[in-house]
Amino acid sequence: MNAEIIAVGTELLMGQIANTNGQFLSQELARLGVNVYFQTVVGDNESRMRQSLELARSRADLIICTGGLGPTQDDLTKDVLAAYLGRGLIMHEPSLRYMTEFFESRGVVMVDSNKRQAHMLEGSDPLPNDTGLAVGIALTQDGTHYMLLPGPPKEMKPMFLNYGVQWLRGVMKDEVPLVSRMLKFAGIGESLLEDRLLDLIRGQTDPTIAPYAKEGEVAVRLTTRAASEREGLAAIAPVEAEIRRRVGEFIFAERDVPLETIVLELLKTSGRTLAVAESCSGGQLSDMLTAIPGSSQTFLGGVVCYSNALKNKLIGVPLDVLEGEGAPGAVSAQAAGLLAEGVRDRTGADFGLSITGVAGPDPSEGKPVGLVFVGLAERGKAAETFELKLSGNRETIKLRASKSALTKLWQRLKTV
Amino acid sequence: MNAEIIAVGTELLMGQIANTNGQFLSQELARLGVNVYFQTVVGDNESRMRQSLELARSRADLIICTGGLGPTQDDLTKDVLAAYLGRGLIMHEPSLRYMTEFFESRGVVMVDSNKRQAHMLEGSDPLPNDTGLAVGIALTQDGTHYMLLPGPPKEMKPMFLNYGVQWLRGVMKDEVPLVSRMLKFAGIGESLLEDRLLDLIRGQTDPTIAPYAKEGEVAVRLTTRAASEREGLAAIAPVEAEIRRRVGEFIFAERDVPLETIVLELLKTSGRTLAVAESCSGGQLSDMLTAIPGSSQTFLGGVVCYSNALKNKLIGVPLDVLEGEGAPGAVSAQAAGLLAEGVRDRTGADFGLSITGVAGPDPSEGKPVGLVFVGLAERGKAAETFELKLSGNRETIKLRASKSALTKLWQRLKTV
Structural domain span for residue B183: 178-253
A317 shares a domain with A237: no
Angle at A374 between CA A369 and CA A379, to 5 degrees: 165
Amino acid at residue number B329: G
B212 touches A: beta carbon within 8 Å: yes
The residue out of B142, B171, B200 marking a domain boundary is: B171
Chain B residues inside the 8 Å CB shell of A303: 301-304, 314
B28 contacts A48? CB cut-off 8 A: no
Hey, CA dihedral for B304, B310, B316, B320, is it positive or negative? positive
Give pLDDT tens digits along chain A (416 positions).
999 999 999 889 988 889 999 999 999 998 888 999 999 999 999 999 999 999 999 999 999 999 999 888 788 999 999 999 999 999 999 999 999 998 888 777 788 888 999 999 999 999 999 988 999 999 999 999 999 999 999 999 999 999 999 999 999 888 887 888 999 999 998 778 888 998 898 887 889 888 777 777 889 989 898 888 899 999 999 999 999 999 999 999 999 899 999 999 999 999 999 999 999 999 999 999 999 999 999 999 999 999 999 999 999 999 999 999 999 999 999 999 999 999 999 999 999 999 999 999 999 999 999 999 999 999 999 999 999 999 888 988 999 999 999 999 999 999 86
Angle at A86 between CA A81 and CA A90, to 5 degrees: 75
B83 shares a domain with B231: no
What would the pLDDT profile of A246-261 be if each residue is shown by its tens digit? Answer: 999 999 999 989 999 9
Give the minimum alpha-carbon distance from B189 to chain A in angstroms, rounded to a whole number.
17
Q: Looking at the partner chain, which of A14, A289, A303 has a beta carbon nearest the beta carbon of B303?
A: A303
What is the interface size between A and B, counted as CB pairs within 8 Å? Answer: 247
B268 shares a domain with B231: no
What distance in Å separates the CA atoms of residue A291 and residue B398, rounded to the nearest whole number? Answer: 8
Chain B residues inside the 8 Å CB shell of A22: 12, 15, 18-19, 41
What distance in Å separates the CA atoms of residue A201 and residue A211, rounded to the nearest whole number? Answer: 8
> In the prediction, which pLDDT does B416 show?
65
Is omega for the bond preceding A361 within 30 degrees of 0, making it cis? yes
Give the minimum alpha-carbon distance from B140 to chain A in angstroms, rounded to a whole number.
23
> In the prediction, which pLDDT does B374 show?
98
What distance in Å separates the CA atoms of residue B292 and residue B169, rounded to the nearest whole number? Answer: 32
Give pLDDT tens digits along chain B (416 positions).
999 999 999 889 988 889 999 999 999 998 888 999 999 999 999 999 999 999 999 999 999 999 999 888 788 999 999 999 999 999 999 999 999 998 888 787 788 888 999 999 999 999 999 988 999 999 999 999 999 999 999 899 999 999 999 999 999 887 887 888 999 999 988 778 888 998 898 887 889 888 877 777 889 989 898 888 899 999 999 999 999 999 999 999 999 899 999 999 999 999 999 999 999 999 999 999 999 999 999 999 999 999 999 999 999 999 999 999 999 999 999 999 999 999 999 999 999 999 999 999 999 999 999 999 999 999 999 999 999 999 888 998 999 999 999 999 999 999 86
A153 shares a domain with A106: yes
Give the containing element (helix H, strand E) for A347: helix A333-347
A46 touches B: beta carbon within 8 Å: no
B272 touches A: beta carbon within 8 Å: no
Q: How long a stretch of residues is chain B?
A: 416
B275 touches A: beta carbon within 8 Å: yes
Chain A residues inside the 8 Å CB shell of B296: 306-307
Q: Which residue of B has its CA nearest to A36?
A: B13
What distance in Å separates the CA atoms of residue B392 and residue B189, rounded to the nearest whole number? Answer: 14
Specify the CATH number for the domain of residue B190. Answer: 3.30.70.2860
- B 69-108 → A contacts, CB under 8 A: none
Give the containing element (helix H, strand E) for B337: helix B333-347
Give chain A's largest Cα–Cα span.
Answer: 81
User: Considering chain A, what percentage of its residues have pLDDT values greater than 90?
Assistant: 76
Give the containing element (helix H, strand E) for A202: helix A190-202
How many domains are contained in chain B?
Answer: 3
Dihedral Cα A140, A146, A150, A155, nearest 10 deg: 70
What distance in Å separates the CA atoms of residue B9 and residue B151, rounded to the nearest whole number? Answer: 8
Amino acid at residue number B251: I
Whose CA is closest to B26, among B60, B77, B50?
B60
Q: Buried b vs exposed e over B156-188: b needs ≥16 C-beta within 10 Å?
A: bbbbbeebbeebbeeebeeeebbbbbebbbbbb
Beta carbons within 10 angstroms of residue B35's beta carbon? 16
A388 shares a domain with A264: yes
What distance in Å separates the CA atoms of residue A364 and residue B85, rounded to the nearest whole number? Answer: 52
Q: Looking at the partner chain, which of B11, B20, B307 has a beta carbon nearest the beta carbon of A301?
A: B307
A107 shares a domain with A21: yes
Give the minimum alpha-carbon distance from B393 to chain A in angstroms, rounded to a whole number.
9
B282 contacts A289? CB cut-off 8 A: yes
Angle at B96 between CA B91 and CA B100, to 5 degrees: 150
A186 shares a domain with A105: no
The residue out of B130, B148, B171 marking a domain boundary is: B171
A141 shares a domain with A20: yes
B117: helix, strand or coil: helix
What are φ and ψ of residue A213, in 5° steps? Answer: -130, 135
B217 shares a domain with B149: no
B27 contacts A41? CB cut-off 8 A: no
B65 shares a domain with B9: yes
Specify the CATH number for the domain of residue B126. Answer: 3.40.980.10
8 Å CB contact between B116 and B103: no
> In the prediction, which pLDDT does A379 show?
97
The residue out of B171, B206, B223 marking a domain boundary is: B171
Chain B residues inside the 8 Å CB shell of A299: 306-307
Suggest the residue from A66, A157, A304, A402 to mutate for an interface test with chain B (most B CBs closer than 10 A): A304
> In the prediction, which pLDDT does A416 show?
65
Chain A residues inside the 8 Å CB shell of B15: 22-30, 36
A38 contacts B42? CB cut-off 8 A: yes
Q: Looking at the partner chain, which of A40, A286, A302 has a beta carbon nearest the beta carbon of B38?
A: A40
What distance in Å separates the CA atoms of residue B164 and residue B153, rounded to the nearest whole number? Answer: 14
- A 298-357 → B contacts, CB under 8 A: 299-307, 309-310, 313-314, 346-348
Give the containing element (helix H, strand E) for B390: none
Specify the CATH number for the domain of residue B393. Answer: 3.90.950.20
A336 shares a domain with A199: no
A30 contacts B38? CB cut-off 8 A: no
A405 shares a domain with A271: yes
